[in-house]
Amino acid sequence: MVQTIPQDIKEDLVRASSLHQRAASDYEKCQEFNKLMSVLLGRLEDAGCYKTADKVMSILIDCNPKQGAQCEKATRIGEKMKKI
């Protein structure tokens, strides 16, 4: 069964992907990415897009912004973002 993701959520997922590319070494961008993905998770669940919501949840599990440190899982998260 194919999910129909609302257009506004698709646009925010694209924005999140772009943001993640800049977030790997920028703590503030990393936090912004994490917050956006958290909001998107709720919106996807509300829209009944559970498969995509599960993918976002797996990204959030790996995403742990740390001030003054480069993201250790940036590559893994980047690959997961491409799959969405």
Q: How many CB atoms are closer than 10 A to CB 39?
A: 14
pLDDT in tens, 13-72: 999 988 888 776 778 888 899 999 999 999 999 999 999 999 999 999 988 877 766 677
CA angle at 23 for the pair 84 and 31, rounded to the nearest 5° = 90
pTM above 0.85, yes or no: no
